[in-house]
Amino acid sequence: MEQFRNIGLMGRPGNATVADTLEYLLQFLERRGVKVIVDEDTAVILPRPGLQVCTRGMLGEACDLVIVVGGDGSMLHAARSLARFNKPVLGINRGRLGFLTDISPGEIDSKVAAVLDGDYVIEQRFMLNMEVKSAGNPVGEGIALNDIVLYAGKSVHMIEFELYIEGKFVYRQRSDGLIIATPTGSTAYALSGGGPIMHPRLDAMVLVPMHPHALSSRPIVVDGNSEIKLLMCTEDINPMVSCDAQAGISLHAGDWVYVNKHPYKLRLLHPPGHDFYAACRTKLGWSSQLTNSGE
């Protein structure tokens, strides 16, 4: 197991509960005798002298472990910043569902301590890379841990596009859009769109149509190494494409969107006892009644 001596902290500004948890976590880490480094945004909500501060881009280079305090959105932001450094990331949940940030603030003393003592599980979560080309020229790009979403933008009209997987034409579709999700993102927007829940260890992507005009259109699960291509066909409106609900890129008829696996992965760290199915029961309200031993 890795030794964590230099620990980075990241938190979402503008949230009082995040600030309180960051302060408690900082004191806990100081008692443990580890070196703590915070990024510039987090330093704003931890106004104390003597803190070592660096840019978010440098945090991945300087630290052995980064702890993110916030919701899954905070973890998504951290993933895009930190994945290229191949450093483990641990989440303290101050959001709603918390599939990625799975330690509650009341568990810091026990579960963060266990992690620092070497008792943890680590998962490799792959990410998606997106590139937009217009007339053969790159005009936009992005990285997503959860999903890449094609949508109608400000219009309430359906959009029309063609889908290609591994160079093979799949269909021409009229719908409100398309969600391309990783297993990590299968419990996010794709789930609301009727997509399947995918175990995080799966090497696959799911494509979920959003309110398709043809009722026979259903989610498709494909190999995680597939190249996905979307050709924009709609001429009267300008659809948009977005990575992890970030600012979208405007599209025009004839534009292509390319999606494939990103070369870097997020090393997501879990405390001892983490169970994906238990998380589903808790976060999604599944029944917890046990009727047999499961054997």
Please, what are the domains in the chain? 6-120+271-284 (3.40.50.10330), 127-263 (2.60.200.30)
CA 205, distance to chain mean position in Å, is 14
- The residues annotated as belonging to the active site are 72
**Predicted confidence band of residue 292 (pLDDT cuts 50, 70, 90):** low
C-beta of residue 141 within 8 angstroms of C-beta of residue 242: no
pLDDT tens for residues 134-153? 999 999 999 999 999 999 98
* pLDDT(1) > 70: no
Q: How many CB atoms lie within 10 A of CB 122?
A: 13
258: alpha, beta or left? (left if phi > 0; alpha if psi -120 to 50): beta
Report which listed range, 53-67, 97-111, 122-136, 265-279, is most confident. 122-136
Which backbone phi and psi does 226 adopt, to 5 degrees? -70, 150
For residues 228 and 259, the answer to whether their CB atoms sit within 8 Å is yes
> Alpha-carbon distance 36 to 28, whole Å?
11
Greater confidence (254 vs 157) lies with: 254
Predicted confidence (pLDDT) at residue 205 exceeds the cutoff of 90: yes
Is pLDDT at 5 greater than 60 in this prediction? yes
Using alpha carbons only, how large is the chain's radius of gyration in Å? 21
The pTM assigned to this predicted structure is 0.91
pLDDT interval class at 293 (50, 70, 90): low
